[in-house]
Amino acid sequence: MQDQFGRTIEYLRLSVTDRCNLRCRYCMPEEGVTGLSHSDVLRYEEMLRVAAAACRLGIRKVRVTGGEPLVRRGIVNFIAQLAALPEKPEITLTTNGMLLAEQAEALKAAGLSRVNVSLDTMRPERFKEITLRSGLEQVLAGIEAAEKVGLLPIKLNVIPFVDFNDDEIVDFARLTLEHPWDVRFIEFMPISSDLDYASRDGLSMDAVEARLRTTLGALVALPYQRTSGPAHMYRLPGAKGRIGLIPSVSGHFCGDCNRLRVMADGRVRGCLFDNHETDLKSILRDGGDDQALEDLLLAAACAKPEKHQINGKDFTTPNRRMHGIGG
């Protein structure tokens, strides 16, 4: 499947719920969200039809996300069904890790390849401050369990904020000395302008790199690998793991974008920042056949904009929050 700019689309991000068991202050309002109603959310069999159509069109990797995907009941069985699709796509998961310890073994057995765990701090009080819940221990246990069952490599996603958790950048980077993990720093993106952290400054990846070089010295740049997506990868000398820097705002990687995003209500976005969406639910529920579904997915791919306009003068924040799009 190609878009109108010649990019090959082979990566599907599939959000299975807009709900979450944390309240990260940059992602969700404290009181939670009214959320999609039960009937608005695609049933698993509908999502599977979408994923199957997408795989026939050339999708090779499906990332299950949310909200928090592990809060949706039946998620393990759904992942097993995704992994069993004839094209055998790689199935990955982005999670906050809260329910990972109890599900890691079953997820691995279901065919999940690996997990990305989002963790912005390793200090319990700060964890509570940013997520408005306790649970750091649970997340750490989740990471340990994922490693034990072989959901590898573990990727940790960290968003550094000025004067909030930027004093932990070096601690996070040092984790790679002892663990074969990818610790990935991601620039905070201008989404959800109504939330607490919207006005906080995220650190640019140039600033993160400078901080790491000043404190830790040599940082060896690694050759580009497609599996690392938009991350620039580095290794500290002798480290078991790697450090990734993802300049989501300051970088220009739209030219290599290979993604489509299907949200829990069955709408497809070609770009996080583009409010244009293609609705699949009516086809799914009104007896549309597989050809009609594939045609809509192709149309969604064709509608992908050439690049985001974050730094442009006409930029407005997306009309959905991150927990609703899936990151």
Q: What SS3 class is residue 169?
A: helix
Candidate list 36, 186, 264, 280; residue touching ligand SAM; CB under 6 A: 186
* Residue 100 binding result from ligand SAM, ligand SF4, none, given CB thresholds of 5 to 8 Å by partner type: none
DSSP string, 206-231: HHHHHHHHHHH---EEPPP-GGGTTP
Q: How far is the CB of 253 from ligand SF4 (least distance, A)?
A: 21
Name residues whose C-beta falls within 8 Å of residue 270's C-beta, 6 or more positions apart in sequence.
Answer: 3, 260, 261, 276, 300, 301, 303, 304, 305
Closest by CA to 5, choosing from 259, 253, 250, 303, is 303
Residue showing tokens 């740049």: 221
Q: How far is the CB of 159 from ligand SF4 (least distance, A)?
A: 9
C-alpha angle 309-314-318 in degrees, rounded to nearest 5:
60
Check if the beta carbon of residue 79 is closer than 8 Å to that of residue 115: no
Nearer to ligand SF4, 158 or 293 (CB): 158
The answer to the question of residue 151 lying near ligand SAM (CB under 6 A) is no
Restricting to residues 36-75, name those near ligand SAM by CB under 6 A: 65-66, 68
* Angstrom distances, CA of residue 133 to CA of 13, 21, 128, 138, 140: 26, 8, 5, 11, 15
E strands of 174-214, at which residues?
Answer: 182-186
| 182, β-bridge pairs | 155, 242
Element holding 82 (H helix, E strand): helix 75-83
Nearer to ligand SAM, 191 or 297 (CB): 191
Check if the beta carbon of residue 139 is closer than 8 Å to that of residue 115: no
Which part of the chain contacts ligand SAM (CB under 6 A), choosing from 47-55, 88-96, 274-282, 293-301? 88-96
The answer to the question of residue 182 lying near ligand SAM (CB under 6 A) is no
How many residues in total does the chain contain? 327
Nearer to ligand SF4, 174 or 321 (CB): 321
The answer to the question of residue 94 lying near ligand SAM (CB under 6 A) is yes
Nearer to ligand SAM, 53 or 169 (CB): 169
Q: CA 4 from chain center: how many Å?
A: 24
Nearer to ligand SF4, 24 or 175 (CB): 24
The answer to the question of residue 323 lying near ligand SF4 (CB under 6 A) is yes
Number of residues located near ligand SF4, criterion CB under 6 A? 13
* Residue 28 binding result from ligand SF4, ligand SAM, none, given CB thresholds of 5 to 8 Å by partner type: ligand SF4
Restricting to residues 8-47, name those near ligand SF4 by CB under 6 A: 20, 22-24, 27-28
Candidate list 20, 246, 283, 293; residue touching ligand SAM; CB under 6 A: 20
The answer to the question of residue 322 lying near ligand SAM (CB under 6 A) is yes
As to burial, measured by CB atoms within 10 angstroms (0-12 exposed, 13-18 middle, 19+ buried), residue 202 is buried
Restricting to residues 190-209, name those near ligand SAM by CB under 6 A: 191
Terminal C-alpha separation, the chain: 22
Nearer to ligand SAM, 188 or 234 (CB): 188
Nearer to ligand SAM, 68 or 265 (CB): 68
| 6, β-bridge pairs | none
How far is the C-alpha of 323 from the C-alpha of 21, rounded, in Å? 11
Residue numbers of the site for ligand SAM (CB under 6 A)? 20, 26-27, 65-66, 68, 94-96, 118, 157, 159, 186, 188-189, 191, 322-323, 326-327
Residue numbers of the site for ligand SF4 (CB under 6 A)? 20, 22-24, 27-28, 66-68, 96, 118, 322-323
